[in-house]
Amino acid sequence: MTNEELQGLVEGISWEYFKRKFEHKASFNPRLRTTGGRYLLSTHNIEINKTYYEVMGLEELIGIIKHELCHYHLHLLNRGYQHKDADFKILLKSVGGPRFCSSLPIEMKKGKAKRVLIYSCVSCKQKYTRKKRMDINKYVCGKCRGRLKLEEIISIDK
């Protein structure tokens, strides 16, 4: 996904869920490491961590965008835009955004991993990220005790 495609996605989500235009810039920031995205108060721009999209997928990206748009729209309306504010919590819940983004595998944050293995449960679709291979005949899903399968292997280029 390019920055232009991200801009279009953010504008679409803003109109669909908030009924308001997003009139600033949305872009991927390769320097973000520990957070999914951030809203910049001074410029009103939104920056997104592209690694979350690459590892966690489009659904996680949409959640991060909804979260950042809550900060954006509330700040422009001079209402409580911080995580602790009731206005923020209410708006976030109404649009179905996450309070916090999911955690990336710790290995990726430290920059040490060469690859990440993603396993999923056949029954409940719960996902598990691992640095090392697991014996899927020995382990089961911790949520429903279902059978596990290797979904994909993501290589991290340095």
Q: In the annotation, is 68 catalytic?
A: yes
Cα 5 versus chain centre, distance: 16
- Residue 12 CA to residue 65 CA, distance in Å, equals 11
- Residue 3 CA to residue 17 CA, distance in Å, equals 21
Burial of 89-117, coded b for 16+ CB within 10 Å and e otherwise, reads eebbeebebeeebeebbebbeeeebeebb
Which residue in the list 68, 107, 151, 152 is annotated as catalytic?
68
- Residue 68 CA to residue 29 CA, distance in Å, equals 14
Which sequence positions are flagged as catalytic? 68
